[in-house]
Amino acid sequence: MSDLGFKGLEVAWSKVWGSLHNITPARVNIYRRKVEAAGLRIIGMHSLYYGTSGMALFQDYTAEDRALHHLVYLSKICADLGGSFLILGSPSVRRRGQMTTADADSRFSTFLYKLSDLLEQTDASGTMRLGLEALPQTESDYLNTSKHALRLVEHLQTHRICLHLDAKSLVAAGEATADFLSKAAQQAIHFHVNQPGFGVLRHDDQVDHCKLGALLRENGYAQSVSIEQTITNPEDILGPIRKSREILAECYA
């Protein structure tokens, strides 16, 4: 991957170890060494709740407590890997159901305050952060716009809880604009470059990547950018990644 020009890797723990029970300090250290030997560094983690059960933000408080301590646990794994952020998408865990958006905001804010306090206790480096990712209404019934996520971040006023931006979500919410990104770009800690359906990046009328890249640069975004893409051809894994890398270099460099 470093031969293609990539510098870092964002890790989905379940794709590496399969189960939480398989994660040990030794295995974490081995994986980090392999990544670094390949000329890359681990920058953070996403797909935080994939493969888990019994965790939720807006159900009973036992499920919420499990969700909270799961993030604290992953923050320690992430730090041991060399990363500095967790990206919270996880649509299945944040379903609000019949709860109003206002009530969900109140409960989620309390959850995030607790997480911030716990990170202060467990992360001596002071660098570990959680990025809030907006998801389209087709994926989630809560936090569907980056504007909403930014509003929560600004309300919380803690450096531990930050904004994450995502290309397809910005487009779906009508937020791929100079007006919004002038407010959001410098607040974001990470950016996912993707297509609806997580296919190969391309020039089309779904996501204007060169426009988004220009808006990010013009508004002072200086953090990491990751391709978020599924395996589209199991017999040629690197070919599609190489094509997406060309769009990344053209539009986001």
Task: Give the whole-number percent of the chain exceeding pLDDT 90.
Answer: 92
CB 207 within 8 A of CB 181: no
Instruction: Give the total number of structural domains in the chain.
Output: 1
Residue range of the domain that includes 197: 2-252
**Any idea what the CATH number is for the domain that residue 81 is in?**
3.20.20.150
- The model's pTM: 0.94
User: What tens digit of pLDDT does each residue of 230-244 get?
Assistant: 988 889 989 999 999
DSSP 164-223: EEEHHHHHHTT--SHHHHHHHGGGEEEEEE--TTS-----SSS--HHHHHHHHHHTT--S
Sign of the Cα pseudo-torsion (198, 27, 236, 226, in order): positive
The predicted-structure confidence for 47-93, as pLDDT tens digits, reads as follows: 999 999 999 999 999 999 999 999 999 999 999 999 999 999 999 99
pLDDT at 88: 97
